[in-house]
A and B are shown apart, each in its own frame.
Chain A
Amino acid sequence: MILKDIKRGDTVLEARGITKRFPGVVANDHIDFGIKAGEIHAILGENGAGKTTLMKILFGLVQPDEGEIYVHGEKVNFRSPLDAIHFGIGMVHQNRKLIPAHTVIENIILGHPKSGNILNLKRTGEEITELCDKYGFNIDLKAKVWQLSEGEKQVVEILKALYRGAKILILDEPTSALAPPETKKLLASIKIMTGDELAIIPFITHKLPIVLTVSERVTVLRRGKVTARLKTADATESNLAKEMVGREVIFRLERVEVGKGKPILQVENLSALNDKRVLALKGVSFSVHEGEIFGIAGVSGNGQQVLAEVLAGLRKAVGGKVLTDGINITHYTSLERWQKGIGYIPSERIDVGSIGDFSLVDNVFMNYYFDDEFSKWGIIDSKKIRKLTKEIISEYAVAAPSSDITAKSLSGGNLQKLILARVLSRKPRLIIANLPTQGLDVGATEFVQNKLMEAKKERAGILLISEDLDEILSLSDRVAPIYEGEFMGILPGEQATRENVGAMMAGLK
């Protein structure tokens, strides 16, 4: 059924009393939600608030225990996503559901019932171009998806849903993978494409400003319940956060001046290759001092990951020097760096930061096994390491039933707390924090940022790499925007603004 004759203001989707229980939790507790044509209605909530469940129910991936869904006034019962698609609901997934090796057009028509036995790429191409013109998108249909930027991939997903006749679009964390300029572009086109007949439901965990700029109404979820329904005009960033978290959240951490000490880390003209053997870091020089947070702002893939890995000893430098306390450590191994007091918080929590199948105790031990205190003559002092793990879990409020569960069973936020705690408990003199709050909800983000601030007060030097401009600006004493492997400049914190750092991240000096 394709929805025809939709007028602006018609209620197109309504959910009444949606309830879903899983063993031990009520994921959705009598949720009511409605959206009109031509409207953007955001659903806001922390991880675990029941957003994902609600989204899956609306898209037919999960069936509710109680409650009813109405599409255009008609009661529907979705047994699978195909039913939802049939009723004009489209989903744009957060982790892209696209095949990188295929072209844009192949991705869009994949599984489309209209595509027939023999593909008529010319005709479908024309139809898709028509859609692009109508909604103001511009994309090369013959390009392979792996060649596209994250923003363009998102457009492909949206086109795929629209091509299937979607009139109600569910966007799962629409901007989480995008750089600031791309976010701006996407939001502008969402605003335009909504027009009179589409209804758009973005589901958002963080990045509250996005909610405020695009949506007309907001529904906030907490622990499976609706805690607020607001017109965006009446909402502010802080009251939304309060509804989400259930308490006041301080957005701008006060930057504490602790007085810059002597330099701990000096990097001179450092270059390195990425996995594709291309020069991705092109001669950067900087220093990090005691009691300083040095922020590197950049869109993913501009060499910051390579820089972090070189500094952590996980990747070889092809040129330049790294010094700590005047000693050249460029060729030190990762272990020697830990022993010199350099702590690394990797961006890949599950692959590099922890071993998913190991217990929390074993994961903590991986940063301590080389200390005589914890292993004598190669024999592990398990009592000590167990005690340390327990302390870490309670001090950092890691939500874990026991210290023997596997690391992969923790949520992203709790695992990050554990990794952070493991590094910070060594009292490192230099901390390399690579995307420390990526993908975390408001509460966990605040926690991690506070801990980094505390470390700074204890006169550690911190190299903070982040794609979140607000985080960089509020925490850093100095900011270096990185673009294509080079620093576009190094700005003192007070001179760094959204505008100039954003422009430098995009390659403008």
Chain B
Amino acid sequence: MMWEFFARSLNASTIFTFAALSELIGQRSGVLNVGIEGVMLFGATLGFIVAQSTGSYLLGFLAAIVIGGVIGLLHGFFSITLGGNQVVNGMGIWILGFGLTAYIGYPYTGPLGMKRIPDIMGLSPFFFVGIALIIITWLVLSKTSLGLRIRSVGENPSVAEVSGINVTKTRYLSVITSGMLMGFAGAIYSLDYNPVWNYNFIMGWGFIALALVFFSMWNPLILLGGSMLFGTLWQLSLNPELVLPGVLSRYIWRTVPFVITIGVLMLMSTKWFSTKWGAAKPEALGQPYEKE
């Protein structure tokens, strides 16, 4: 019983891991995507529809990755090429995703109706993929030339440009990769974690993932710990009586991840935080770069 709870928690944390990691990749290059929830909705819904219609999980996941990449490209076009406000654009993506997927997905309401993806002792195979991806991302960011370029355009694009780095190209690369992973994260939710289509079924997980990136101080390894914490909290909110019988109502438990999210985001925006931890945040985050 206890293991089952634990495995369920880790499966939930897998989705946070993918989503937050995707956001982290974009942010390290200086592009903020607050529309992550919308991209996940797109990936989840399209993946669900394609998998159900073709009977192929592979095609479902591919569709999710492609739509995520396309939205990433769109976000890149607005925020890199046109130099628009990234927060406004991200909000647009969220609203679009929210509305459009509710409309497109409505006829598919209900369970997926396919054989479940096999698990390993109750753990989703994506859990292991997620851990591998965390390690790969960490290695790429800190040990490779590409990672140095991504970090540099996120810290100070004009310095990067002077050093001979193509800022636009590097940012597009990051944003598209980031979008693809967001779509994938959505599809893990709708095809593996909880294969039932429902109105607004991502339920704010994208926003929690967004907060997780700040929470992790842009470090993939801390991010893994953070997503496990949130996964466990989430699971606890579903069945609190399993672990802490009789302590508080499940509805209060269910608010906990969101309360923490709000708390983290508020804390991050304080002056105190930015002076104390300022070095961890990509300096140019959210700022469009214009060549002189």
State whether these chains interact.
yes
A115 at the interface (CB under 8 A from B): yes
Given A97-B158, A99-B159, A102-B155, do A118 and B144 touch, yes or no (CB 8 Å)?
Answer: yes
A106 at the interface (CB under 8 A from B): yes
Residue in chain B with minimal CB distance to A146? B279
Residue in chain B with minimal CB distance to A93? B162
Given A110-B165, A277-B275, do A119 and B158 touch, yes or no (CB 8 Å)?
Answer: no
Write out the residue numbers on chain A whose beta carbons fall within 8 Å of the beta carbon of B152: 99, 102, 110-111
Please, what's the 1-or-0 string for A82-102, where 1 marks a CB less than 8 Å from any CB in chain B?
Answer: 100100000001000111111
How far apart are A111's CB and chain B's nearest CB, in angstroms?
A: 3
In the assembled complex, the Cα of A102 lies from the Cα of B159 at a distance in Å of: 12
Please, what's the 1-or-0 string for A103-127, where 1 marks a CB less than 8 Å from any CB in chain B?
Answer: 0001001111101111100000000
How far apart are A156's CB and chain B's nearest CB, in angstroms?
A: 12
Given A119-B148, A275-B275, do A100 and B283 touch, yes or no (CB 8 Å)?
Answer: yes
Give the interface residue-count category, chain B.
Answer: 20 to 34
Please, what's the 1-or-0 string for B130-163, where 1 marks a CB less than 8 Å from any CB in chain A?
Answer: 0000000000000111101101100110111011
Contact between chains at B151 and A102 (CB < 8 Å): yes
In the assembled complex, the Cα of A112 lies from the Cα of B145 at a distance in Å of: 9
Write out the residue numbers on chain B whose beta carbons fall within 8 Å of the beta carbon of A100: 155, 279, 283
Write out the residue numbers on chain A whose beta carbons fall within 8 Å of the beta carbon of B143: 118-119
Contact between chains at B155 and A97 (CB < 8 Å): no
How far apart are A383's CB and chain B's nearest CB, in angstroms?
A: 39
In the assembled complex, the Cα of A101 lies from the Cα of B152 at a distance in Å of: 9
Contact between chains at B163 and A111 (CB < 8 Å): yes
Given A106-B148, A110-B148, A119-B144, do A81 and B162 touch, yes or no (CB 8 Å)?
Answer: yes
Given A97-B159, A101-B155, A110-B163, do A115 and B145 touch, yes or no (CB 8 Å)?
Answer: yes
Write out the residue numbers on chain B whose beta carbons fall within 8 Å of the beta carbon of A207: none
B164 at the interface (CB under 8 A from A): yes
A30 at the interface (CB under 8 A from B): no
In the assembled complex, the Cα of A106 lies from the Cα of B145 at a distance in Å of: 10
Write out the residue numbers on chain B whose beta carbons fall within 8 Å of the beta carbon of A119: 143-145, 148
Most B C-beta atoms less than 10 A away, residue of A111, A113, A119, A144: A111
Residue in chain A with minimal CB distance to B281? A101
Contact between chains at B159 and A117 (CB < 8 Å): no
How far apart are B145's CB and chain A's nearest CB, in angstroms?
A: 5
Write out the residue numbers on chain A whose beta carbons fall within 8 Å of the beta carbon of B155: 99-102
Write out the residue numbers on chain B whose beta carbons fall within 8 Å of the beta carbon of A112: 163
Residue in chain A with minimal CB distance to B292? A61
Given A109-B148, A111-B149, A117-B145, do A97 and B162 touch, yes or no (CB 8 Å)?
Answer: yes
Please, what's the 1-or-0 string for B259-292, where 1 marks a CB less than 8 Å from any CB in chain A?
Answer: 0000000000000000100011011000000000
Write out the residue numbers on chain B whose beta carbons fall within 8 Å of the beta carbon of A109: 148
Contact between chains at B146 and A117 (CB < 8 Å): yes
Write out the residue numbers on chain B whose beta carbons fall within 8 Å of the beta carbon of A160: 163
Write out the residue numbers on chain B whose beta carbons fall within 8 Å of the beta carbon of A113: 164
How far apart are B206's CB and chain A's nearest CB, in angstroms?
A: 27
Contact between chains at A276 and B275 (CB < 8 Å): yes
In the assembled complex, the Cα of A106 lies from the Cα of B143 at a distance in Å of: 10
Write out the residue numbers on chain B whose beta carbons fall within 8 Å of the beta carbon of A101: 151, 155, 279-280, 282-283
How far apart are A90's CB and chain B's nearest CB, in angstroms?
A: 11
Write out the residue numbers on chain B whose beta carbons fall within 8 Å of the beta carbon of A82: 164
Please, what's the 1-or-0 string for B8-38, where 1 marks a CB less than 8 Å from any CB in chain A?
Answer: 0000000000000000000000000000000
Residue in chain A with minimal CB distance to B283? A101
Write out the residue numbers on chain B whose beta carbons fall within 8 Å of the beta carbon of A93: 162
How far apart are A159's CB and chain B's nearest CB, in angstroms?
A: 13
How far apart are B141's CB and chain A's nearest CB, in angstroms?
A: 11
In the assembled complex, the Cα of A82 lies from the Cα of B162 at a distance in Å of: 9
- 27 interchain pairs, CB-CB under 8 A: A81-B162, A85-B164, A93-B162, A99-B156, A99-B159, A99-B160, A100-B155, A101-B279, A101-B280, A101-B282, A102-B148, A110-B148, A111-B152, A111-B160, A111-B164, A113-B164, A115-B145, A115-B148, A116-B145, A117-B144, A117-B146, A118-B145, A119-B143, A119-B144, A144-B279, A275-B275, A277-B275
For the complex with contacts A100-B279, A112-B163, 5 further pairs of A-B residues with Cβ separation under 8 Å are A98-B159, A101-B280, A101-B282, A110-B148, A144-B279
Residues on B lying within 8 angstroms of A by beta carbon are 143-146, 148-149, 151-152, 155-156, 158-160, 162-165, 275, 279-280, 282-283
Task: Across the A-B interface, give the 6 residue pairs with the lowest CB-CB distance, nearest first.
Answer: A111-B163, A111-B164, A99-B155, A110-B163, A97-B159, A111-B165
